A and B are shown apart, each in its own frame.
Chain A
Amino acid sequence: MGILRKRRGVSFVRRAPTKSGQDVPIHVAKMTFAHVRWWHSHVQPIIDHDPNRADYGWNWLLYVPFAEITGSVLIRKPVGYTVGLTDPERDRFVPCALVQLLGRVPALDDHDRDGVFVWFLSTAPDEALTTVEDHPIPVDQIPRRLGTIALDVAVTQSLNERRFGRTALYADERGGEVLLQWYRRRGMTVLPDEAKLPPGPRRLLKPSDGRYCYYTVPAAVEASKELDSLR
């Protein structure tokens, strides 16, 4: 199964568990300006009430042009995805998580191979989903495991783009040890602080300080398998 997953790719998650015990339908769409405009109007103000969040003060209205304009500009293959609740009857798509990736970056554990780097990743706080104007999500219908699902978007992209699951990110300092532990529990390895980053601006601007995390190929495959029941 691991070989097939690495060689043939895998589909994105299509359902999310809820407190009610019933899964809710979600899907992963290419991030659009409409998604981030709604996010910056409704979700980001709630996030910005909490300065301890890693995504405090972010501005997706600035980040999304990367996904839209860089298709022809082959540098690091940036791509943005939105994870959202779907309501076909009312033609609504409620963004619950945004993920901006760099699709071609040297892997942290093997600088000669490319991997995916999670540039920005944000999940909506419960309060943002229960207060959607004209479309409030009941508390027991709020999708759970949004962080894991958003991280899986990156791993899935890596598997489908022949990066074999190699995925890396930087765990924001504001998340402290709790955030590092969360990534460890997802199967990621923390790069030692004395390790050298691959050549690039980060090696100089943000050298390894024990907060870079990465998936090895086997760990990525295992993490991907864990969400198979939701695909």
Chain B
Amino acid sequence: MPTPTTAFADAAAKYGEVDPNDIEAVQEWFAEELPTLPVDVIEQVIRDLLAQDGAAADREIIPVYPKHAPLPSLKLSPPVALPLLAEDWKRLLQRLAARLGKRESNE
């Protein structure tokens, strides 16, 4: 059980004076307003939410789903870059495989 949705709504109400029953306003606050707040406030919001990690929801919030959200663009969703060290590891294995292949063909 992760942090309940109600904890997010309560945080938006506490730090953004948003109606905690208006889930779209809560979502908008997290997406638009929270990133513009001072770092210490963001830290406090995160602390509050992590403090509710594992807690049960104390009420139900009716979900609202966005309409007609487009499929994400592949260009704007690039694969996570391979860590440099893992890249080395992959290259090492490729070299080893190539060397073993060459040896087998010589034999």
The chain A residues found within 8 Å of chain B, CB to CB, are 4-5, 7-12, 14, 27-30, 32-35, 37-38, 40-42, 44-45, 48, 57-59, 61-62, 64-66, 68-70, 72-73, 75-76, 78, 81-82, 84, 86-88, 91-95, 119-120, 132, 134-135, 160, 170, 172-173, 201-202, 205-206
Contact = CB atoms under 8 A, between A and B. Distances in A.
A32 B70 CA distance: 13
Given A33-B31, A135-B71, A41 B76 contact: no
Interface of B: 1-3, 5, 8, 23, 26-27, 30-31, 34-35, 39, 42-43, 46-47, 49-55, 63, 65-80, 82-83, 85-86, 88-90
Given A9-B86, A88-B74, 16 more contacts: A5-B89, A8-B88, A41-B67, A57-B5, A59-B5, A62-B5, A62-B8, A64-B31, A86-B74, A92-B72, A93-B71, A119-B3, A132-B71, A134-B71, A201-B53, A206-B55
Contacts of B78: 29
B95 to A, nearest CB: 14
Contacts of A134: 71
Contact of B50 (A72, A91, A201): A201
A11 B74 contact: no
A228 to B, nearest CB: 10
